[in-house]
Structure 1
Amino acid sequence: MHRGEETKPAWKTTELAVYLLSVIGVLIASNAVGDGAGNNGGDYFAADKAWWYITLLTIGYLVSRGLAKAGSRTRDDDPRVNN
């Protein structure tokens, strides 16, 4: 009987794609919002706030991968594992 690896490799998951698109979206939004100089305001979406959201996204991604590896098995053949 062939036992599969615990989970798919990270690059084969939709979580990775969603994570990367979310990070890119946060960076674009932070850059596009502007500094609010014309409205006597400050930077509404400063870099420190953008990196805070990226940190939260990273923690969420790591937790989701940890939960995925918590006991599920895949029947996917990974050429790096099967010789």
Structure 2
Amino acid sequence: MSAATPAGYPESGAPRSTYTAERPATRETVKETKPSYKTTELMAYVAAVVAVLVASAVVGDGASGVDRFPADRAWLYITLLTIGYMVSRGLAKCGAGQGDDRRA
């Protein structure tokens, strides 16, 4: 059997500081990332998509009559850009809650 402290809590348990009212009464808020429409990631993504579409429309048939930048390749590049944008937003959201919530 373990000895009890003057407050009546066992000494082998958690430290007394966890039982006392030393914690702040306010709840800490987690800082969230910016909304996606306020980031430069979105602006860069939209600019890249527009550039791919314009390049696909402007680059026409070559001297041999073959389209050098067909629409299917342009849409593939847009799909890859979209995947990259989604991954970058996911990484931004993933690390959002790790600011002040870790204590030593």
Q: Normalising TM by the smaller chain, what interval?
A: 0.7 to 0.9
Q: What is the distance in 2 between the residues matched to 1:13 and 1:67? A: 14
Q: Who is 1:78 aligned against?
A: none
User: What SS class does the counterpart of residue 3 from structure 1 fall into?
Assistant: coil
| Aligned counterparts, 1:41-80, within 5 A | 41-73=65-97
Q: Could you say which structure has the greater relative contact order, defined with CA pairs below 8 angstroms and 6 or more residues apart?
A: 1
Q: Within 1, Cα distance between the matches of 2:70 and 2:96?
A: 40
Where do residues 20-35 of structure 1 align in structure 2 (5 Å cutoff)? 20-35=46-61
**Residues 61 and 68 of structure 2 are in contact (CA less than 8 Å); yes or no, is this contact kept in structure 1?**
yes
Larger Rg: 2
Counterpart CA distance in 1 for 2:48 and 2:94 is 24
Q: TM-score, normalization: structure 1?
A: 0.78
TM-score (norm 2): 0.63
Please state whether the residue corresponding to 1:6 is helix, strand or coil.
coil
Report the RMSD for the aligned CA atoms in angstroms.
1.5
- Structure 2 gap segments, 5+ residues each: 1-26, 98-104
Higher helix share: 1
Q: Could you tell me which runs of 5 or more consecutive residues in structure 1 were left unpaired when the two chains were aligned.
A: 74-83
**Aligned AA (1:68):** A
Identical counterparts, % of pairs: 61
Moved beyond 3 Å, runs of 4+:
none
Question: Deviations for 1:32-81, whole angstroms, at most 9, x for unmatched residues?
Answer: 11122xx11410000000000000000000000000001225xxxxxxxx
Paired with 1:47 and 1:5, the residues of 2 have a C-alpha distance of 42
